[in-house]
């Protein structure tokens, strides 16, 4: 049964049109966005979700136009039914992620993207995962390709503690190295060590791009590395949503490195829609040292 079907007798047609039909299930917690005109119907919507998911423990609502904290990437969550405790354990494709949604960022909608990136990693690579949150990308890579070394960086102390716990839960100690710190400072410390850099923070990755390149092993002509670069793009999904992010990235790197690099696009993908005509996109960029 869909949420719309469960609410067919409880909401009128105008209200059903305003219903946000998609929602996330994280462990035993449901997160859904509520249209401003349906805020008075929260209890009714929660009751419908409980019928669909009888084992759910908590249901939280997110305002339709919610603000995301830029530093820790947390959102305003209102418990509309159930336990106020927002800590839960989420299972995904055999991986275990413990999170507290009040204090850390986590999205089950990135499951495919985590697997996609992990499948590209080669044995023996050294990887830097900036903005790593509770360690999801790092852990999936480590489990799929254990012959790697992954520096997993996040500035959020709550995320860092959950990352350490998740590393233990998934038995990837020694492969994933949790690092608490600002990505800018930590990338400077790791200059020249990485074969691959992940930048899964679309709103801010652009400003860190030159540091990510410096973290790659590009100390000689012909050397190459890969950056999984995430950005925000606007337009219709049928449009080419990658031209502007790519040109921005190339201009940024040209300003920092002149003509010493060549940037090749290995793959592009729309990761998810975040607002009308606004998308998170990823560009897998292969960086080659020319001279």
Q: DSSP readout, the chain?
A: --HHHHTTTTS-HHHHHH----EEEETTEEEEEE-GGGGGGHHHHHHHHHHH-TT--EEEEEETT--B-TTT--B--EEEEE-S--EEEEEETTEEEEEETTTS---GGGHHHHHHHHTTPPTT-EEEESS-TTTHHHHHHHHH--S-EEEEEES-HHHHHHHHHHHHHTT-BTTEEEEES-HHHHHHHTTT-BSEEEE--TTTHHHHHHHHHHTBS--STT-EEEEEEEEEEES-TTS-TTHHHHHHHHHHHHHHHTTSEEEEEEEEEEEEEEETTEEEEEEEEEEEE--
Long-range contacts of 186-190 (CB under 8 A, 24+ apart): 186/130, 186/151, 186/153, 187/128, 187/130, 187/153, 187/211, 187/212, 187/214, 187/215, 188/214, 190/128, 190/151, 190/215
Q: Based on the fold, state whether residues 81 and 109 are members of the same structural domain.
A: no
pLDDT tens for residues 122-178? 999 999 999 999 999 999 999 999 999 999 999 999 999 999 999 999 999 999 999
pLDDT of residue 208: 97
Q: Based on the fold, state whether residues 227 and 187 are members of the same structural domain.
A: yes
Over residues 60-75, mean pLDDT = 75
pLDDT tens for residues 96-126? 999 999 999 999 999 999 999 999 999 999 9
pLDDT of residue 67: 61
Of 85, 113, 128, the residue that ends a domain is 85
CATH number of the domain that residue 10 is part of:
3.30.300.110
Q: Based on the fold, state whether residues 155 and 53 are members of the same structural domain.
A: no
131 close to 154: Cβ distance less than 8 angstroms: yes
pLDDT of residue 66: 63
Q: Which of 223, 220, 247, 222 is nearest to 233 (CA)?
A: 247
In a domain, 94, yes or no: no
- pLDDT-derived band at 243 (thresholds 50, 70, 90) equals very high
Of 23, 53, 85, the residue that ends a domain is 85
pLDDT of residue 70: 65
What percent of the chain shows pLDDT beyond 70? 97
In a domain, 58, yes or no: yes
What whole-number distance in Å separates Cα of residue 90 and Cα of residue 200?
20
Q: Based on the fold, state whether residues 50 and 114 are members of the same structural domain.
A: no
Arithmetic mean of pLDDT over the chain: 94
- pLDDT-derived band at 74 (thresholds 50, 70, 90) equals confident
Q: Based on the fold, state whether residues 56 and 116 are members of the same structural domain.
A: no
What whole-number distance in Å separates Cα of residue 19 and Cα of residue 53?
18
In a domain, 99, yes or no: no
Q: Which of 82, 85, 80 is nearest to 101 (CA)?
A: 85
CATH number of the domain that residue 217 is part of:
3.40.50.150
In a domain, 136, yes or no: yes
Q: Based on the fold, state whether residues 157 and 269 are members of the same structural domain.
A: yes
Domain that holds residue 22: 3-85
In a domain, 194, yes or no: yes
pLDDT tens for residues 269-287? 999 998 889 999 999 999 9
In a domain, 93, yes or no: no
What whole-number distance in Å separates Cα of residue 231 and Cα of residue 281?
5
pLDDT tens for residues 174-213? 999 999 999 999 999 999 999 999 999 999 999 999 999 9
Give the up-direction half-sphere exposure of residue 234: CA atoms within 13 A in the CB hemisphere.
Answer: 3
Q: Based on the fold, state whether residues 175 and 49 are members of the same structural domain.
A: no
Q: Based on the fold, state whether residues 117 and 80 are members of the same structural domain.
A: no
Q: Based on the fold, state whether residues 9 and 73 are members of the same structural domain.
A: yes
What whole-number distance in Å separates Cα of residue 41 and Cα of residue 198?
40
- pLDDT(69) > 70: no
What whole-number distance in Å separates Cα of residue 34 and Cα of residue 45?
9
Q: Which residue has the higher pLDDT, 219 or 234?
A: 234
In a domain, 207, yes or no: yes
Considering its fold, how many domains does the chain have in total?
2
Q: Based on the fold, state whether residues 139 and 221 are members of the same structural domain.
A: yes
pLDDT of residue 65: 64
- pLDDT(92) > 90: yes
Q: Based on the fold, state whether residues 70 and 191 are members of the same structural domain.
A: no
Q: Based on the fold, state whether residues 110 and 222 are members of the same structural domain.
A: yes
Of 29, 56, 85, the residue that ends a domain is 85
Over residues 36-52, mean pLDDT = 94
Q: What is the rounded radius of gyration, in angstroms, for the C-alpha atoms of the chain?
A: 20
In a domain, 225, yes or no: yes
What whole-number distance in Å separates Cα of residue 146 and Cα of residue 141?
8
What whole-number distance in Å separates Cα of residue 177 and Cα of residue 94?
21
């Amino acid at each position: 049964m869909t949420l719309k079907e469960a609410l067919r007798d409880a909401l009128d047609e105008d209200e059903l049109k305003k219903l946000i039909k998609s929602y996330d299930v994280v462990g035993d917690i449901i997160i859904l966005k509520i249209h401003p005109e349906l805020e008075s119907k929260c209890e009714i919507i929660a009751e419908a979700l409980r019928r669909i998911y009888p084992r759910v423990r908590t249901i939280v609502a997110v305002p339709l136009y919610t603000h995301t904290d830029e530093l820790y990437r947390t959102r305003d969550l209102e418990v509309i039914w159930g336990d106020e405790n927002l800590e839960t354990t989420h299972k995904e494709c055999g991986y275990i992620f413990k999170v507290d949604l009040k204090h850390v960022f986590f999205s089950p909608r990135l499951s495919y993207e985590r697997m996609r990136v992990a499948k590209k990693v080669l044995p023996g690579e050294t990887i830097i995962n900036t903005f790593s949150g509770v360690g999801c990308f790092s852990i999936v890579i480590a489990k799929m390709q254990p012959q790697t070394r992954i520096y997993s960086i996040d500035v959020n102390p709550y995320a860092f503690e959950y990352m350490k716990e998740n590393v233990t839960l998934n038995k990837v100690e020694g492969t994933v190295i949790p690092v608490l710190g600002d990505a800018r400072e930590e990338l400077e410390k790791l200059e020249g060590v990485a074969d691959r850099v992940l930048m899964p923070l679309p709103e801010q990755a652009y400003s860190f791009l030159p540091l990510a390149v410096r973290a790659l092993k590009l100390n000689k002509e012909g050397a190459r590395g890969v950056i999984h670069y995430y950005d925000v793009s606007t337009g219709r999904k049928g449009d080419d949503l990658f031209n502007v992010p790519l040109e921005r990235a190339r201009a940024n790197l040209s300003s920092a490195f002149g003509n010493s690099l060549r940037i090749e696009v290995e793959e592009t993908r729309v990761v998810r829609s975040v607002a009308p005509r606004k998308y998170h996109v990823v560009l897998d960029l292969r960086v080659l040292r020319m001279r």
